[in-house]
Amino acid sequence: MRRTPMPPEIDSTECTGCGICVQACPVFTLDMRDGKAVVDRGEWCIECGHCGAVCPVDAVVQKKTVVAPDLTVGEKAAVSPEVLMQLLRERRSVRSYLKEPISKEVLEQIINAGRYAPTGSNSQRVHYLIMTSPDEISELGKEIMEFNAKFFKQLEKKPFALLMSMFIGRKKIQELLNYGPAILHAQKRIEKGEDPLLRHAQALLLVHAEDWDGSPAFNCAAAIYHCSLMAHVLGVGVCFNGWVENSVNNNKKLKNRLGIPKDNKCYGAMTMGYQDIKYRRLIERNLPDVQWR
């Protein structure tokens, strides 16, 4: 499962022995010996590229991690705290889309942003599935609704609910039951030709990952959130969708049909399309629930 790592090499003629690479290495791959950096535990390398990124004299030869040739890191972060906060606050869920397709180039730019999200141990095990046919997406929405409606009808039967609560807990069952009326309402809307779940989206992005990986849920969430921010700055509206994620993971047939491997789980999904309602105001949120110690 763990790939064979390709650790860096140290060009000892260039190395000045400053030790910054050793300090930056998260997994003890590098050490100092006789005043120079050396690769001591290459097999532990996670190919994060930190050593090469911090070396002031280019003495770290990265075999695998490709250094972006045209981009350097400035003295200050790329955007100010104010600009970042504005961006974070103006990104909102968009559930109403124009009937305008999103070009492949734009979709590729959105997905590309996911690559730069952090992953546990730099596993980079995040996989993307993108659907671009609005009809197929709406059909999927219908199927997901039917699947959930069936489940809720079962859940209303006490013995089934009791049995389920042994697996997922009473609170979760109660939480799921709260959604029952909305699901039945949504089904009626589907009968009228509406798409209350996937909102006639122009594209649907799913992220999935091997469930045995260290932090697959976080990895996927971070990646898809990166994608959502890139979508936002490209003018594409997105909305995360928990129904897709849950239904794919609980419906083997659907998961199979979508081509998601058996070992993988879907950890995030978002609908996409050009926004047809403009948000004119920012909103306030609850203050953070913080414990300072």
Ligand X SMILES: Cc1cc2nc3c(=O)[nH]c(=O)nc-3n(C[C@H](O)[C@H](O)[C@H](O)COP(=O)(O)O)c2cc1C
Residues that bind ligand X (CB under 6 A): 92-93, 95, 239-243
Decide: 272 and 102 in contact? Cβ < 8 Å: yes
Nearer to ligand X, 150 or 157 (CB): 150
Nearer to ligand X, 8 or 216 (CB): 216
Nearer to ligand X, 125 or 232 (CB): 232
Tokens representing 277 are: 């309602």
CB of 119 to ligand X, least distance (A): 18
Nearer to ligand X, 218 or 240 (CB): 240
Q: Return d(Cα 242, Cα 157) in angstroms, integer.
A: 24
CB of 135 to ligand X, least distance (A): 20
What are 37's strand-pairing partners?
A: 32
Phi then psi for residue 187, to 5 deg, are: -65, -40
Tokens representing 144 are: 């997901």
Q: How far is CA 28 from the centre of its chain?
A: 28
Q: 60-61 and 236-240 as β-strands: parallel, antiparallel, unpaired?
A: unpaired
CB of 106 to ligand X, least distance (A): 20
Tokens representing 84 are: 């970042």
CB of 89 to ligand X, least distance (A): 9
CB of 96 to ligand X, least distance (A): 11
Nearer to ligand X, 158 or 171 (CB): 171
Phi then psi for residue 185, to 5 deg, are: -65, -45
Nearer to ligand X, 48 or 204 (CB): 204
CB of 95 to ligand X, least distance (A): 5
Question: What Cα–Cα distance (Å) separates residue 193 from each residue in 138, 145, 164, 186?
Answer: 10, 13, 33, 11
Nearer to ligand X, 119 or 241 (CB): 241
User: C-alpha angle 182/184/187, rounded to 5°?
Assistant: 110
Q: Return d(Cα 145, Cα 68) in angstroms, integer.
A: 44
Determine if residue 193 is left, alpha or beta; phi over 0 gives left, psi from -120 to 50 gives alpha, anything else beta. Answer: left
CB of 279 to ligand X, least distance (A): 8
